[in-house]
Amino acid sequence: MSEINGKVVVITGASSGIGEATAKLLASRGAHVVIGARRLERLEALASHIEAKGGSVLYQQLDVTNLDQMKAIISLAQSRFGQVDVIVNNAGVMPLSPLEALKIDEWNRMIDVNIRGVLHGIAAGLPVMKEQQSGHMINVASIGAYAVTPTAAVYCATKYAVRAITEGLRLELGANIRVTLVSPGVTESELADTISDDEAREFMKTYRRNALPASAIARAIAYAIEQPADVDVNELVVRPTAQLA
């Protein structure tokens, strides 16, 4: 029997990309998935797909920058299934631009979603996991958490922060609660659709020519979850074979 079967997994940013692929994969392996994102119609479509395949799913509209909404989806999972085994803090945005473009609203949006959203996931889920004395916090970062590229300074800064927060959480928690950082390389997603800067948008067209399917990252997340309780996969970096940096 898979270690995933029967686990209750909350996934943020589940309306597309890695979040959507992860929800489909984990549900197919017997998990109860609780999915959240801002686009309610996309969540409804995903839930219908999972249910049609025989999977177990709940959905709720979620803006991760709102702590009350994050607490509400955790409460939904706990009240319906009695526990929260895994939280996948996946929601993120990537409106790249040179710093000199001074797109301050976009900087703040990245800080709010990419950093504060992860912290809200931890704040909402950690008390539940501490009380049940078990759980698994999975934070999705990026290869941008390891190296900075032009036009991506603020985005990379947010992902460096996620990496630091994840490691700090692992060191503080010790036994019972597992902590994993998953850092995708170039992956098919809608992240690049938020880029308003012409230079950055053209760069990303070239950069993303050899992109992994979102299902590849979903499998990495599943790998971390399916390990026995005494095995904590701390960090996974997943790149396309052709991506050298």
144 secondary structure, DSSP code: G
Question: Would you state the structure tokens that stand for residue 132, as one six-digit string?
Answer: 């049940």
Tell me which residues are annotated as active site.
Answer: 155
Rounded Cα distance, 84 and 121, in Å:
12
The total of other beta-carbon atoms located within 10 Å of residue 209's CB is 10
- CB crowding 127-140: b at 16 or more within 10 Å, else e: ebbeeeebbbbbbb
Task: Please check whether residue 88 is in contact with residue 10, taking contact to mean a CB–CB distance below 8 angstroms.
Answer: yes
Which one, of 163, 218, 165, 160, lies nearest residue 189 by Cα?
218
Which one, of 139, 144, 142, lies nearest residue 122 by Cα?
139
Q: For strands 32-37 and 56-61, give the pairing.
A: parallel
Which residues partner with 60 through β-bridges? 36
Max Cα distance, the chain (Å) = 54
Task: Please check whether residue 103 is in contact with residue 148, taking contact to mean a CB–CB distance below 8 angstroms.
Answer: no
